[in-house]
């Protein structure tokens, strides 16, 4: 994913929280199971013929409390860094914990986002092309429970914990809880995210609920939209 975000920048965060609500005003707008993840050898990386934009759930398929919009390409690119706490040009320590970069020249990601104004939660569904197995991401995250991210004098600590529950329906999947704590700016700027990541063929599904401060991510909404997205990709 291309990145275009300075982690911990208050102005950037306020813009992202308001993006879906503003866009919606203009336009009018799963289940988990316990168990061991699927073995790498069982994962298919066959090409899914439909375009990512065709596979992306429509805004009407989001929970009613999350009025949603499909982001234009430039906004989708900018949003990606908010979902893992690492922006373009950021320095990650340890270096091996930097997010796996997408293959160059590939199909752009498709992103839809809904905002619950009452709870200040955003619910994001991202589809991207990847031939990397989820097992590689799982292995990386197991060794990268806490990383330091720095750029242009700003810094943050990103902590990630893998859940025991595995989202159902994909060829392989993981669930995780992530926090991004800026070095400066106060507790109100701390991001907390609940994310489910799955793979069907060469389509990577990422569903994230993100909130700030003392708020809690909407785990039920993540499960619902993950199941909806899996059904969309499977039905293509």
Which tokens go with 63? 């929970």
* Model confidence at 13: pLDDT above 50: no
Structure letter (DSSP) for residue 114: E
CA atoms within 13 A on the CB side of 73: 4
The C-alpha atoms of residue 32 and residue 71 are separated, in whole angstroms, by 27
Which tokens go with 34? 């316990």
Taking residue 46's Cβ as centre, other Cβ atoms within 10 Å add up to 10
Taking residue 150's Cβ as centre, other Cβ atoms within 10 Å add up to 15
* Model confidence at 6: pLDDT above 90: no
Q: Give CA separation, 5 vs 42, 54, 85, in Å.
A: 35, 27, 9
Q: Give CA separation, 120 vs 45, 59, 98, 116, 191, in Å.
A: 36, 18, 28, 6, 11
Residues 65-84 have a mean pLDDT of 86
Identify the band that residue 185 occupies on the pLDDT scale cut at 50, 70 and 90: confident
**What is the bridge-based pairing of β-strands 146-151 and 91-93?**
antiparallel
* Model confidence at 33: pLDDT above 50: no
The C-alpha atoms of residue 50 and residue 115 are separated, in whole angstroms, by 27
Which tokens go with 14? 């306020």
* Percent of the chain at pLDDT exceeding 70: 79
């Amino acid at each position: 994913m291309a990145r275009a975000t300075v982690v911990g920048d208050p102005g950037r965060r306020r813009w992202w929280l308001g993006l879906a609500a503003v866009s919606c005003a203009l336009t009018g707008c799963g289940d988990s199971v316990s168990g061991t993840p699927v073995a790498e050898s069982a994962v298919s990386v066959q090409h899914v013929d439909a375009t990512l934009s065709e596979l992306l759930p429509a805004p009407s398929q989001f929970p009613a409390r999350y009025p949603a919009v499909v982001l234009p390409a430039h906004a989708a690119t900018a949003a990606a860094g908010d979902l893992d706490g690492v922006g373009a040009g950021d320095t990650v320590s340890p270096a091996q914990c930097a997010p796996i970069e997408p293959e160059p020249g590939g199909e752009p990601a498709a992103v839809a986002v809904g905002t619950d104004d009452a709870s200040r939660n955003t619910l994001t569904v991202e589809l991207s092309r990847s031939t990397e197995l989820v097992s590689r991401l799982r292995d990386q995250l197991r060794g990268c429970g806490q990383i330091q991210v720095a750029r242009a004098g700003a810094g943050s600590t990103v902590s990630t914990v893998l859940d025991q529950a595995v989202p159902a329906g994909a060829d392989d999947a993981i669930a995780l809880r992530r926090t991004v704590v800026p070095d400066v700016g106060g507790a109100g700027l701390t991001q907390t995210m609940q994310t489910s990541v799955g793979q069907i063929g060469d389509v990577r599904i990422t569903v994230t609920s993100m909130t700030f401060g003392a708020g809690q991510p909407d785990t039920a909404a993540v499960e619902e939209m993950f199941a909806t997205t899996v059904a969309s990709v499977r039905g293509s």
